Amino acid sequence: MVEWWRDAVIYQIYPRSFQDSDGDGIGDLKGITQRLDHVAGLGVDAIWLSPIFTSPMKDMGYDVSDYTDIDPLFGTLADFDALVARAHELGLKVIIDQVISHSSDKHPWFAESRQSRDNPRADWYVWADPNPDGTPPNNWPSVFGGPAWEWEPRRRQYYLHNFLIEQPDLNMHNPAVQDTLLETMRFWLERGVDGFRLDTVNYYFHDAQLRDNPPNPDHTGPETYGFQRHVHSKNRPENIGFLKRMRALTDEYDARMMVGEVGDGGQTAIDIMAEYTAGNDRLHMCYSFEMLSPEFTAAHFRRCIEGVQKGAPDGHSCWSFSNHDVIRHVTRWQDHAGNPDALARQAAAMLLSFPGTICLYQGEELGQTETELVYEELTDPPALRFWPEVRGRDGCRTPMVWDADAPNAGFTTADPWLPVKAPQASRAVTIQQADNDSVLAAYRAILSFRKSQPALRWGQTEFPDLPEPVLAFRRTHEGTSLTCVFNLSASPEQLTVTGDTVLSGPSHASLSAGRLVLPANGFAWLSGNIDLQA
C-alpha cells in the first residue's frame, strides 16, 4: 500500500476565506478550484479542506447537519467533484474534515432523539437525568464556557455538548452510531477523497458512569475549561476500539489516510499522539496543539518530537505551527524575532525539517500576521461571549490576500465576511510573486529543498545537547546525514563546527574556518557527520 502521507506536506484551506467565486463575500469550492495552481506551485502534496458540509454555521461548519452533502454557501457535490478532479490533475491529494464527535442540533438525528426517551434514535446522543435538585448530572464544562449540559424539557433530561449548546455530542457507546458514521466516511472515500482530518479525535467517548472530573490546580488562564483535568469527559480508553474500526475502513481503499486532532495540551497531548498512532491498526498520524502554543524554545520543540518518538517508536506525527484555531505564529512568536519576515522564513525552515508529516495553513507562505479586529467585526462564539480577555479565532481566519491592487486583495468583489485590512493586504501574492527575497519565494525554495533531501523526508532524528536559544537535530537516512540548526532568538549566535561540511540548501547563515554564524532567526543545513559546540 502506498504511504504517500509519511513525508507529505499538507496545505490547509479554510474555505470561507480562500476565494469567493460568486460575489457573496464568502469563499467557496469553485474559488478554491480556481486557486489550486497557486497551491500546487508551492510544492506541497495535499490540501486539507476545513468543513464544507451542510451546517447552520453556528461554529463555522463544525456543527454538521448533513454528513453527506455540501453546504450551499460553498457550492454543490458537483463542485466538490470538480475540485477533487482538478486537484488530482495537479498531483494534489484531497483531505476533508470529519466532525463526528458531535453534530448540529439541527441534524435530523438529534431532532428525533430529543423528542422522547423511546424513539429509534433516543440513545444516539448523550442523555442523562438531572440530579435530585435539578442540576446537571456532573461537573463537566463546555470548552466554550459554562456547563457541558443543556436541559431538554421534552425528555426531562440533559444532553452533553462539549462545545456549543448547538453541538450535541453523539453517543459513541452505541454501535449503531458508530456504524452510521463509518458509512458517512465511506461515502466520501467512494467519492475519491484521499484522507480525513478528524476533529477533536480524543472527544469521541465519555465515561459511561458520568463521574466528575477532578480539579486542575495548575490552571491560570482566563477560560473556565482549564480548571479541570478532563479524565472522564474525554481521552477515554474506549476510543481505541473505534479508531481501529476507522482504520479498517480506510484500509479497504488504496492510499488513504487519517490524521487526528488531539484537543489537549502538555504531556497529555504528546502521550495521546503516541497512543493513537502506535502500531498499524489505529490512526495513521496525529497532531496536537503543542506546537501551536506561545512557547518558542529549543527544549519545547525537542520535547514534542522526542515525546512521540519514545511513546510510539512505530507511530507517526504531524506537525504544524498555525491553523484556523490559534493566533498566527508570526504574531504569536514576534517577541523572538528580529523582524516578521525573518521569523516567517525560519519557521518554514524549521517546520519543514521536522520528522513526520507537515501541515501549512493558508497564508503562512506569505508570512501572514494576525488581523487586529474590533468587537463589531467578530463572528467567533467564544470571543463574542468573553471579549476582550478571549479574543477568539477570527484574527487568523481573515481572507487570503491575492492581489494588492484589487478590492479586498482579490478575495471577493463584495463585502467579505471578515475584513481584509491593510497589514494583511500588504503581503498579497502579487507583491511577493516578483520578489526573489520574499517569504513566498523562501517557502517555495525550502519546500523544493525538502523534496530533494531523503534525510529530511524519511530520516531518523537525534538531538545534540546545545544551550538555548539554539535548536539543532540530525536527520539521517541510509547513511546520509543532514544537520539542521536554528537560532531561536533576535540576537546573533555562533557555534563551533567540527568535521568536513558545507552549507546546504537556502541556508541563512555563514560558515568559515569551523565557525557557524547564525544571524537573528538564522538557520542552516549542514551536510555530513559533524559535531556542534556552543
Q: Evaluate whether residue 150 is within a structural domain.
A: no
pLDDT of the chain, 534 residues: tens digit per residue = 579 999 999 999 999 999 999 999 999 999 999 999 999 999 999 999 999 999 999 999 999 999 999 999 999 999 999 999 999 999 999 999 999 999 999 999 999 999 999 999 999 999 999 999 999 999 999 999 999 999 999 999 999 999 999 999 999 999 999 999 999 999 999 999 999 999 999 999 999 999 999 999 999 988 899 999 999 999 999 999 999 999 999 999 999 999 999 988 777 888 898 899 999 999 999 988 889 999 999 999 999 999 888 887 888 889 999 999 999 999 999 999 989 999 999 999 999 999 999 999 999 999 999 999 999 999 999 899 989 988 999 999 999 999 999 999 999 999 999 999 999 999 999 999 989 999 999 999 999 999 999 999 999 999 999 999 999 999 999 999 999 999 999 999 999 999 999 999 999 999 999 999 999 999 999 998 899 999
Q: Evaluate whether residue 25 is within a structural domain.
A: yes
Gap between the Cα atoms of 195 and 254, Å rounded: 11
Joined together, the cell numbers standing for residue 108 give: 435530523
Gap between the Cα atoms of 514 and 534, Å rounded: 12
| Same domain as 527, residue 435 | no
| Same domain as 51, residue 10 | yes
| Same domain as 332, residue 193 | yes
Backbone angles phi, psi at 142, to 5 degrees: -85, 145
Q: What element of type H or E holds 189? A: helix 175-190
Q: Which has the closest alpha carbon to 485: 470, 500, 498? A: 470
Domains in the chain: how many in total? 2
Residue 84 sits in a domain of what CATH number?
3.20.20.80
Joined together, the cell numbers standing for residue 296 give: 518558542
| Same domain as 332, residue 190 | yes
Q: Evaluate whether residue 387 is within a structural domain.
A: no
Q: What residues contact residue 234 under an 8 Å CB cut-off, 6+ apart?
A: 162, 202, 203, 205, 206, 263, 264
| Residue pair 109/121 in contact by the 8 Å Cβ criterion | yes
| Same domain as 502, residue 363 | no
| Same domain as 476, residue 353 | no
> What is the predicted pLDDT for the residue at 390?
87
CB atoms within 10 A of CB 206: 25
| Integer CA distances (angstroms), 502 to 273, 352, 507, 524, 527, in order | 36, 20, 10, 10, 6
> What is the predicted pLDDT for the residue at 270?
84
| Integer CA distances (angstroms), 508 to 123, 296, 473, 516, in order | 58, 19, 17, 11
Joined together, the cell numbers standing for residue 141 give: 464544562
| Same domain as 8, residue 94 | yes
The amino acid present at 404, given as its one-letter code, is A
Which residues lie across from 504 on neighbouring strands?
525
> What is the predicted pLDDT for the residue at 54?
98
| Residue pair 467/488 in contact by the 8 Å Cβ criterion | no
Q: Which residues does the annotation mark as catalytic?
A: 199, 252
Q: What residues contact residue 461 under an 8 Å CB cut-off, 6+ apart?
A: 305, 309, 355, 473, 474, 475
Residue 493 sits in a domain of what CATH number?
2.60.40.1180
Structural domain that includes position 489: 459-533
| Same domain as 430, residue 324 | yes
| Same domain as 498, residue 396 | no
- Per residue, what are the HEC states of 309-325? HHHCCCCCEEEECCCCC
Q: Evaluate whether residue 35 is within a structural domain.
A: yes
| Same domain as 432, residue 509 | no
Task: Assign 304 to helix, strand or coil.
Answer: helix
Q: Evaluate whether residue 60 is within a structural domain.
A: yes
- Global model pTM greater than 0.95: yes
Q: Evaluate whether residue 207 is within a structural domain.
A: yes
Q: Evaluate whether residue 493 is within a structural domain.
A: yes
| Same domain as 468, residue 331 | no
| Same domain as 506, residue 445 | no
